[in-house]
């Protein structure tokens, strides 16, 4: 079964400095039918104006992944991490038993556009930690590149949950597919452009949940950047 989550169905928050679209319930947007999918709890598409951002705030018992599409996102946290995340990089922060951090647009001139993803951890009270890695365009061009996993294999960031996160860049005749093992599920999120997913056209901001399907196929794309989550 494939269930499409159309971009226009998402919750919206516009605070002037922040324009955010929520694939699942978040903040003031609450829909009991959209509380996440498997261990995937939040996918927010955020755009932050120059110089603005999220002041220091706390999290606990959540795996938080940031995926920057345009611009630069500055991160600081209570375990001493200070970094700037740019397109092609993946950040993973394990909030664990508690962490405080801030996120700001690192530019005074350009907006930053990114996906913030929350994943429920496999255990409570983990030690807070941070990881950031870069994945060149060539590693994602026309293929699904593993960028996050439970065991950190193949150079992916380590996510404390039974999940594989893949990223792909597709255009024209380029295609990619992912076999879904029996008993597992998948979520596809189109970060930019458009792509056919198992024959159905999905556009930027659209998502799709897969259950009891043997494969995810991405093809006939138009400047698409796609994330695919392989979930227990």
Supply angle C-alpha 54, 88, 114, rounded to 5: 30
Report the 3 state secondary structure along 7-55: HHHCEEEECCCEEEEECCCECCECCCCCCCECCEEEEEEEEECCCCEEE
Q: What is the pLDDT of residues 77-110, one digit of tens each?
A: 999 999 999 999 999 999 999 999 999 999 999 9
Pick the CATH number of 138-231 from 2.60.120.10, 3.40.190.10, 3.30.470.10, 3.40.50.300: 2.60.120.10
Cα 27 to the center of its chain, rounded Å: 17
Q: What is the mean pLDDT of the chain?
A: 97
Q: Is the pTM of this model over 0.75?
A: yes
Q: Which residues, including other chains, have CB under 8 Å from residue 184's CB and lie 6 or more apart?
A: 230, 231, 232
pLDDT digits (tens, 9 = 90+) for 33-61: 999 999 999 999 999 999 999 999 999 99
pLDDT for 76 equals 96
Rounded to the nearest 5°, which phi and psi values hold at 8? -75, -10
Which residue is it, tokens 């950047």?
Answer: 225
Length of the chain: 232
Fold match flag (10-134 vs 138-231): yes
Q: Read off the pLDDT band of 163 (50, 70, 90).
A: very high
The pLDDT value recorded for residue 81 is: 94
CATH of 10-134, one of 3.10.450.40, 2.40.30.10, 2.60.120.10, 2.40.30.330: 2.60.120.10
pLDDT of residue 94: 98
199: DSSP letter? T
Q: Would you state the pLDDT for residue 45?
A: 98
What per-residue confidence (pLDDT) applies to 36?
A: 98
The pLDDT of residue 195 is 98
Domain boundaries, the chain: 10-134, 138-231
């Amino acid at each position: 079964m494939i269930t499409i989550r159309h971009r226009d169905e998402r919750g919206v928050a516009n605070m002037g400095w922040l324009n955010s679209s929520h694939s699942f319930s978040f903040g003031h947007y609450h829909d009991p039918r959209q509380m996440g999918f498997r261990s995937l709890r939040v996918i927010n598409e955020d755009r932050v104006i120059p110089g603005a951002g999220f002041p220091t705030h706390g999290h606990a018992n959540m795996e938080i992944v940031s995926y920057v599409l345009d611009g630069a996102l500055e991160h600081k946290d209570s375990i001493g991490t200070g970094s700037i995340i740019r397109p092609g990089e993946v950040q993973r922060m394990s909030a664990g038993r508690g962490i405080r951090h801030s996120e700001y647009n690192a530019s005074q001139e350009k907006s930053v556009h990114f996906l913030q993803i929350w994943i429920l951890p496999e255990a409570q009270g983990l030690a807070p930690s941070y990881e950031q890695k870069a994945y060149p365009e060539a590693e994602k061009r026309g293929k699904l590149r593993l960028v996050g996993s439970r065991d950190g294999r193949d150079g992916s960031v380590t996510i404390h949950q039974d999940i594989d996160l893949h990223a792909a860049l597709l255009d024209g005749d380029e295609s990619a597919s992912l076999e879904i093992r029996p008993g597992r599920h998948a979520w596809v999120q189109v970060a930019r452009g458009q792509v056919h997913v198992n024959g159905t056209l999905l556009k930027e901001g659209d998502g799709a949940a897969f259950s009891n399907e043997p494969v995810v196929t991405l093809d006939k794309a138009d400047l698409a950047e796609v994330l695919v989550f392989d979930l227990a």
